[in-house]
Amino acid sequence: MACRLTALGHRACLLGHTVLYTSATQMLQTLRAARGDDSYDRKLQRYALPTF
């Protein structure tokens, strides 16, 4: 499954889309930590900006 998602993300990049590779666990840990250092909005934007 991971290889298919990587290939899909690679294809999206080739078509001009932005892609962010991360796991849900990593994303949630990053956002939880960001609440503690007041960077939550900036970190959330990082996850919201990619088109794919």
Mean pLDDT of 14-42: 93
Helix (H, G, I), strand (E, B) or coil at 46: helix
Q: What is the pLDDT of residues 1-25, one digit of tens each?
A: 667 778 888 898 899 999 988 999 9
0.75 surpassed by pTM: no
d(CA 10, CA 37): 33
Tell me which residue range forms the domain holding 9: 2-48
If one counts the domains in the chain, the total is: 1
- DSSP letter at 49 equals S
